[in-house]
Every structure is written in structure tokens, then in C-alpha cells.
Structure 1
């Protein structure tokens, strides 16, 4: 690493091969991360002739060495979420701000959080990874916001131990609306066997997709609520978006008035399909829900959702005082 510059490079992938952990790097130069997901930004960067001609690969320990040589921004906020609930809308609003680096669901962070690594080595690797993402590649960046994968609610205590003072929020919405979205197009954590062991498992047999999705969703909301109550996270319902960015959400991120206006301008676009306008779809999803899905969600997910709502309302009461 001595004398080797990583300016403009970001970790694209972390993997294990023959017992050794490796980092694949991708050159971004000064290009900001404006895509809805970090993997989309990597795909775009890999189309550059430079990245097609040159590959940079290092041992995992290089993350710590690069951090010591060129410390990046420490995370200013973490976004946790129940999936399909507006977290991408929030990250895309923040990505419009020139002084923000927003890294949305980076696969390398998920890999480290769920890797079989000693605690000290994992802590150092995570710190080094986020320092690499927090490099001031344009020279104007002031804040680093990281959005996790939904299932990382299970690994949140590990990440919290690395960054105990970093503010965080948990975004969620009516569980029936989330469940309908996953029936249409399931995420990894809503497909049996795709994700591997995680906190969403209950190790019980299930009867159909509706049963599986509702049970996993209930456990996700329960974990989110527990962490919010015990760990001081901000509970935010999809129903508050996007207007909350002009109020308590903007205050949470420490945004000035002009930054809040800039962030709100992003709501003219759909957060995941940038060529489309953003339109709230909760009512359509509730109409689409079958009687079976409604009963499964009511049984497994409604109580943890209502507990989250109670906690959120207590936070809102404190915000308004």
C-alpha cells in the first residue's frame, strides 16, 4: 500500500477465496453516487473502458491501511428499513445534495456484517470500508449516509457497536402494503432459501408465499421496533413522506432550509425508476391484497406494526413540544 494511491477508487465487492478475504475495487473518479442503489453505480462504472481494461484487487487488510493513509468521512447517519417503504426515496432526496455521499445498500457491507470473521477483524474491516466510501472524491463532501439492506436489522447491533454515536432511523409502512409489493416482486429476504441464515428465520414450516412473507415481515418490524425503543432510533412511517424532509426528517439529517428544498425537489421522480414520477401507491396495494394475505399479515405483522406506530407517535409528540 505504501505509495499506492486509491484516489477515485471505491470497494465494489468483498469475497472469500481459498480461505482469504479479498476486495475488488472499481474506479469512479469524481463521479458522484446518484443511482438508487450502489450496485447500479458499480454496473455503470464497470462500463468505463478503464475499468474494463484494469482490475484492482487487494487483501481485506488494505481497507484499514487506506483508512490510516487517507481517512474518509465517518458516517453521519444510517438508514434502516422494512423494505418497500420509502427508504430509497429518502436516499435519493439526499443524493441531490452536493455535500452528501449516499451509499445505498452496498453489497460489501452486507458481506462483512454477515461474514464469519473475528469481531476485531470485522470491526476494522467495516470501519475501513465505510471510510473508503466516505472519501472526498470531489473535495466538497461533508456527510456520509449509509442505507442498509432490510435484513441487516439482524446485524444492526454489530454495526452499532462500530459506530455507537451515529444517528439512525428505521423506515416502515403498513405491512399489508409491503407484503403486496413482495408478492409482486419478492426481495431476496422474501424468497425461501435465497438469503441464508438471518434474524428473520423462525425455523417453522410455512404454507405458501403469503404465510412466509407475512411471518418474515412481522419479525422484521418487531426487530425494528425493539431497536428503536432500546437504541434511540427515529421511527418514520412511509405516510410521512416526502413532507417529513421539510420537518423532523430534515432536522434529523441536519439540513439547512435550502437543502430541504433541494431534497424535496427529488420527489418529482420515482425513487427507483428515475424516468417516472413518484406517486403514492398504498391504496392500490391494499385493494390488491387477497383475503389470505390480509389474514396472514393481520396475524403475524399487525401487532409489531402497531407497536412501532405507538412509539413513533410518542416521538412525534416530543418533536412538536
Structure 2
């Protein structure tokens, strides 16, 4: 009996040891994977930083997947781990052909198989599309003065057909990505591949018989205040002529180029360098292997309104719309999502405690010693004012403010005919009018006919919302209303 009990005790000790060993092994594995996932580090603290898409301090997620699968291309995180920081290269003043040869050799040296070499050719032939960009701080801060360095693009084949067929059910760029084979995007140096793409297109222009790849005409862009009808504008652009048009609605790469790579206060690189990154991003996203496509439109995220100056520097001759709405109605769209304004987009930074400088400045202008003194409704209005005031400050000859109350008719009656320099066909008008009857973000069960809600929003607004809207938003709203666009004269 004693021997049997001792045997059981021994077995229990053995099982316990095995469990301890297993837990240790699991902990080491998780630590290793976490280290592999780190993309950038703060100079002062060993913690992940946001760069590229904002991902709550973690490595930017690879769109369409978990972000943990092995990429088919060398990732910046691998270079970061090995300590091999890429050296900057200033191509200004060099022979273009020599630069192209060097850039191609640089990219090929990082490739390990014929499949990877084929992927480069797919990008240059516009068979693969840019879906995300990320930057490596150690490389970006060492950028040449007249160029940039350390920015990497991620590519996959996008299924634009789903957007062309039904814009209202696939309204956003992330929806297109989700309907594409983007689980395993591959990565390469953005500046180098953009340079080679331009060289490929130049050669194609010299060959008059070559139809694709080709560069689409960047016809117009749209900035917006949020919750103001901007998605309807984007849907109208693609619905007008789906075969000939491509529209990017809140796509990731331009957002990162304008707002993230160089930093929100340009602490990593200059505004001029941000504009150069944006030029390369838009160039790559405007190339096509579809001979029927002719034009491309971009609708950017609302917070890029704070960086309209970067867009203007990159594309001074491209018309841009600014979609806005009655201040109370816009605020009520945020309040309806979160009546206490604790999790609303417009108060997100208030809850986090990291108040952006733009909001602090607005609070000071309105007589508050600190933005922390603002009530939730005031903070929401101040956030929205950072967007509308930026639009007002950047109004120029290419600007077209678009009041929500004038949508959708103003698009086919005035704006698009003036931008294109011709009257629209009846088919184009019918297509735009048809999509305007659908709820612009009608995914799944939300699909259906659009119903106006302006009167309901105004009636339901609290005194606090009305006062905040009047204090912080009314001045810029009036200025946008009063502006006379030169393009529409």
C-alpha cells in the first residue's frame, strides 16, 4: 500500500514538472513572437510606436489578415531585429537611367526566389496594388533633404470589381481589401518601386501600341468633416461610370503619407517630404492594368483635413472638395452613436488624455486655460473645428466646399461638369442619381434606401450640443458657406 502511494506521488511530481516546463516553453515562444512583431521603437523607451496605420501601439496589422503570417517579402521588422538599418540615398542630380538601374538592383538583392522577382514585375505592370505603407523611424529621420527614405509599401491584388458593381455595399477601401486576396501582402521600398514604375510608364508612352500599364487621370479629391455625406460623394464618383472610373474611399496609404509617416507635427520628416511620399503613393495607386479605366478619385479620412496643405503641395492643380454639414447635425451624428460622448470618435482623444495641439489651441482661443476644462460636447465641437478651420485656412482656386444640404444634385448639376469641362451624359446622371437613393454605407443588414434625418437631428439636439456647435463650429461653417469657388464660376 505504501509503495503504491509513493508511486502516485512520484507520478504527480513528474506531471507537475512537465506542466512547468511546458508553461516556460509557451512563455518563451510568446515572448519571441512578440519581439518579432515589433516594428518600431521609441528612442527613449523600448515600446512599440505607431507608424503607418494607427494600430494602438502595435506593429501595423497586415490588411486582410491577422498580421502574424509570414510575409512573402522581407519585412522592416527583420531588418530592425538584425540591426541592419538601410542607408539613405539621394538620387537628385543623377542620370535617371542610372538611378533606375541602381534601384532595381537594390530591390533584387533583397529577393530570394524567382517568385519574389515575379512579384516586383507584377507591381511594375500594375497587376498588384498598394494597400498600406509603413515607415522605420531610424531610417525616416535620416532622409535626404529633398527626398525621403525608410518607407515601405505593401502590395496585393485588389478586386475593384466588387466596388464597381455595388458601391453602397462595399463603400470603403477596407471593404475592397476584405473582398480581395490580401491575406499575405508583400513589401518593398516605396520610393524605389515608385521610381521604377514611373520609368516603366515612360517607356510605355514611347511605345504607342502599349495599352497597359497606364496612369489614370487624378480627377478630383474629397476631404470632409465626418458624418456629412462624403461617402455618398465617393459612391457617386464610381457609380457615374464604373467601367472607366476607380475610386478610393478612405484608403490607408494616403492617410499614412499625410498624417503618420512624418508625424502629426512633422517631427520625423518635413511637410515637403510628406508631400513627396504622398506623390509616390497616389502615383502607384493611380496605375492600372485595365485598358478601360480612365480616371481615379480619392476620398480621404476626415482627420486628413488637418493636412490639406500637404495635399496641395503634392497636387497643386487637382480640384478638391470639402464636404461639410450644419454644425448641430454633424454633432448629433456623433451623439447618436454615443449619447454620453464617452466613446465617440470626436472625443476619443479626450478620453485617452492625449489632447492634440490643434484642440488645445482652439480651447485657448475660446478663453479656456486648458482643453481639459472642456465639457464632452465642447470637446467634440473643438475636434470638428480642427477639421473645418483647416479647410477654411487652405481654401484656394482649386477648392470646392460642398454643403450637405446641396447633395446629391450639385454633383451632377455643377461640380463634376465643371471639373470635367463637359456636360454629363444622361446615363452618367442616372447612375449617380440611382446610387444616391441607397444608404451610402449599406453593408449587410444596413442596406436600404437613404432617408434624410436633418430635421430629427436638429430637433433632438440638447442645449449643450447647440451651444458647443455655435461656439466652436459656426464661424468656420459660415466661412465655408460664403466661399465662392473659382472652379464653379
TM-score > 0.5, shorter chain as reference: yes
Mapped partners of 1:171, 1:315: distance in 2: 13
Cα deviation code 1:248-300 (max 9, x no counterpart): 12324426223122111101211112522111111111122111111111111
Moved over 6 A (4+): none
* RMSD (CA atoms): 2.6
Matched, 1:276 2:448: yes
Query: Is residue 162–residue 179 contact of structure 2 (8 Å, CA) maintained in 1?
Result: no
Query: Is residue 174–residue 251 contact of structure 2 (8 Å, CA) maintained in 1?
Result: yes
- Give the TM-score, by structure 1 length: 0.86
Query: Is residue 219–residue 301 contact of structure 1 (8 Å, CA) maintained in 2?
Result: no
Mapped partners of 1:119, 1:218: distance in 2: 22
Task: Evaluate the alpha carbon distance shift between residue 238 and residue 122 of structure 1 in structure 2; reply closer, same or farther with a 3 A threshold.
Answer: same
Query: Is residue 269–residue 278 contact of structure 1 (8 Å, CA) maintained in 2?
Result: yes
Give the counterpart of 1:133 among 285, 295, 302: 285
Structure 1 segment 100-115 matched on structure 2, within 5 A: 100-114=245-259, 115=261
1:240 aligns with 406
Partner secondary structure for residue 138 of structure 1? coil
2:436 aligns with 267
Mapped partners of 1:69, 1:207: distance in 2: 54
Query: Is residue 412–residue 429 contact of structure 2 (8 Å, CA) maintained in 1?
Result: yes
Query: Is residue 169–residue 234 contact of structure 1 (8 Å, CA) maintained in 2?
Result: yes
Partner secondary structure for residue 124 of structure 1? helix
Query: Is residue 201–residue 216 contact of structure 1 (8 Å, CA) maintained in 2?
Result: no
Measure how far apart 1:184 and its partner are. Answer: 2.8
Give the counterpart of 1:205 among 372, 375, 390: 372
Matched, 1:60 2:190: yes
Give the counterpart of 2:424 among 256, 273, 282: 256
- Give the TM-score, by structure 2 length: 0.58
Task: Evaluate the alpha carbon distance shift between residue 199 and residue 44 of structure 1 in structure 2; reply closer, same or farther with a 3 A threshold.
Answer: farther
2:121 aligns with 4
Bigger mean CA deviation after superposition, 18-27 or 156-165: 18-27
1:37 aligns with 172
Query: Is residue 322–residue 402 contact of structure 2 (8 Å, CA) maintained in 1?
Result: yes
Structure 2: gaps (5+ residues)? 1-103, 109-119, 139-149, 202-213, 263-268, 338-342, 364-370
Query: Is residue 206–residue 212 contact of structure 1 (8 Å, CA) maintained in 2?
Result: no
Task: Evaluate the alpha carbon distance shift between residue 295 and residue 118 of structure 1 in structure 2; reply closer, same or farther with a 3 A threshold.
Answer: closer
Measure how far apart 1:245 and its partner are. Answer: 2.4
Query: Is residue 306–residue 386 contact of structure 2 (8 Å, CA) maintained in 1?
Result: no
**Structure of higher RCO (CA pairs closer than 8 Å, 6+ residues apart):** 1
Bigger mean CA deviation after superposition, 6-15 or 118-127: 118-127
Measure how far apart 1:187 and its partner are. Answer: 6.1
Bigger mean CA deviation after superposition, 191-200 or 166-175: 191-200
Task: Evaluate the alpha carbon distance shift between residue 100 and residue 76 of structure 1 in structure 2; reply closer, same or farther with a 3 A threshold.
Answer: same
Mapped partners of 2:434, 2:133: distance in 1: 35
Partner secondary structure for residue 259 of structure 1? helix
Bigger mean CA deviation after superposition, 172-181 or 246-255: 246-255
Structure 1: gaps (5+ residues)? none
Query: Is residue 22–residue 59 contact of structure 1 (8 Å, CA) maintained in 2?
Result: yes
Partner secondary structure for residue 103 of structure 1? strand
1:89 aligns with 232
Measure how far apart 1:67 and its partner are. Answer: 3.5
Mapped partners of 1:249, 1:214: distance in 2: 28
